[in-house]
Amino acid sequence: MGNISFMLYGAYGFTGELIAEAAVRRGHTPLLASRSLEKLAPIAERLNLEMVVLELEDRDRLHNALKAVDLILNAAGPFVHTAMPIIQACLETGTSYLDVSGEVMVMEQIFALDQQAQEAGIAIIPGVGFNVLASDCLALYAAEQIENPTQLEIATLWATGEMSPGTTRTMIEGFPSGTLARRAGQLVRINARKGRRQQRFLDGVHPILPVSIGDLVTAYRSTRIPNITTYTAFNDQIADFYGLAQPILSRLFRFEFFRRMASDRVKNDIQLSEAHLRERKPSQVWVSVRNEKGAQYQAWLETIDSYLFTAEAAVLSVEKVLAQSLTGVLSPAEAFSADVVMEIPGSRRVDQVENVQATE
Residue 2 has what pLDDT? 45
Under 8 Å between Cβ of 128 and 97:
no
Residue 358 has what pLDDT? 41
> What residues does each domain of the chain span?
6-128+307-336, 130-305+343-350
Exposed/middle/buried for residue 182 (C-beta within 10 Å: 0-12, 13-18, 19+)? buried
CATH of 6-128+307-336 among 3.40.50.720, 3.40.50.10190, 3.30.530.20, 1.10.3720.10: 3.40.50.720
Report pLDDT digits (tens) over 159-186. Answer: 655 544 455 555 555 555 678 999 999 9
Is the domain defined by 130-305+343-350 classed in CATH 3.40.640.10?
no
Region 195-202: mean pLDDT is 93
Region 252-267: mean pLDDT is 56
Region 191-219: mean pLDDT is 92
Residue 274 has what pLDDT? 58
Residue 191 has what pLDDT? 87
Residue 1 has what pLDDT? 41
pLDDT band at 91 (very low <50, low <70, confident <90, very high): very high
pLDDT band at 267 (very low <50, low <70, confident <90, very high): low
List phi, psi (to 5°) of 207.
Answer: -70, 140
Report pLDDT digits (tens) over 339-357. Answer: 999 999 999 999 987 644 4
Residue 264 has what pLDDT? 58
Region 254-260: mean pLDDT is 57
Average pLDDT, the chain: 87
Is residue 277's pLDDT more than 90? no
Rounded alpha-carbon distances, angstroms, from residue 112 to 109, 116, 182, 270, 282: 5, 9, 17, 36, 34
pLDDT band at 120 (very low <50, low <70, confident <90, very high): very high
Is residue 360's pLDDT more than 60? no
pLDDT band at 234 (very low <50, low <70, confident <90, very high): confident
* Percent helix / strand / coil, the chain, rounded to 5: 45, 20, 35
- By C-alpha distance, which of 128, 166, 161 is closest to 326? 128
